[in-house]
Amino acid sequence: MKVRDLADVRRRTLLKAAGAAAALSALPLAGRVVAAEGPRMKIGMIGSGNVGSNLGRVWAKAGHEVMFSSRDIENDKKLAAEVGSKARAGTPQQAAAFGEVLTFAVPYGALPELGKSLGSSLKGKVVIDACNPFPARDGDIANTAREKGAGVVSAELLPGARIVRAFNAVGARRMGTAHEEAGKIGMPIAGDDKQAIEIASRLIREIGYEPVLIGGLNMGKYLMPGTPLAGERSPDEIRKIAATLTP
């Protein structure tokens, strides 16, 4: 074989190997957070406990910019340092101003005050509502939310926000590991704003869950512990259960 022909063969072999590697790298491998499907977003985490820290961590791994916030900014600074360059810390007011999307992961009893203190920062923002009402912890507002539905009441407490209720029926630790079985675990969600639902669904899918819309915010009453949709389920199981529920 001529030297030139041999060089051509080697070049074609290298190109095929590179193409194969590129194809493999594009696949969502088990155990890896899928890279953001669309434009990178700024996500303000209102609450950085078990739920907020796990969600913020995996969204940062997907390539989004995250700001953690809570009553303990020193803890938020430590958390941001652990997560890396895509994370930072701030006050709830700073996180609300920073985020294109906000995730509320606080005790339900904190929502009335946050709605007042964050005020205009919430207007027009997509808000992922991961808060659950527990009367023993949250008082009367939790009773109201359980009677009227947490989605409806959250919208009243956070005026101007485009709310999507999600992350209400699975354990906090699982939220940081769902990407290990991408697409197998369903995430029931509820909302009234089509664009907000699309944005929230993309973010949910990027960290391993398959979002399943069960209806408008009036169906948010089923997205909390103790309801038929509580617990870890497949997307098909969620759809079957949701079909039996009434608004």
The per-residue pLDDT for 247 is: 87
Could you tell me which residues are beta bridge partners of residue 100? none
Residues of 85-105 as b/e, b for ≥16 C-beta within 10 angstroms?
ebbbbbebbbbbbbbbbbbbb
Task: Count Cα atoms within 13 angstroms, Cβ side, for 89.
Answer: 17
Report how far residue 31's alpha carbon sits from residue 179's, in angstroms, rounded to the nearest whole number: 6
What are the tens digits of pLDDT across the range 84-95? Answer: 999 999 999 999
CATH code of the domain made up of 42-242: 3.40.50.720
The per-residue pLDDT for 6 is: 41
* Cα angle value 79/190/129 (rounded, 5°): 25
Could you tell me which residues are beta bridge partners of residue 141? none
The per-residue pLDDT for 179 is: 65
User: Are the C-beta atoms of 103 and 43 separated by less than 8 Å?
Assistant: yes
Report how far residue 173's alpha carbon sits from residue 61's, in angstroms, rounded to the nearest whole number: 16
Instruction: Provide Rg for the chain, Cα atoms.
Output: 21
Residue with tokens 């197998």: 184
The per-residue pLDDT for 170 is: 80
The per-residue pLDDT for 28 is: 38
Longest pairwise C-alpha distance within the chain: 85
Q: What is the pTM of this model?
A: 0.84
79, containing H or E segment:
helix 73-83
Give every residue of the chain whose pLDDT is below 50, as ranges.
Answer: 1-31
What are the tens digits of pLDDT across the range 59-77? Answer: 999 999 999 999 999 999 9
Domain boundaries, the chain: 42-242
The per-residue pLDDT for 233 is: 92
* 209: Cβ contacts below 8 Å, ≥ 6 apart: 178, 183, 185, 186, 187
Length of the chain: 247
Using DSSP, state whether 138 is helix, strand or coil.
helix
The per-residue pLDDT for 176 is: 66
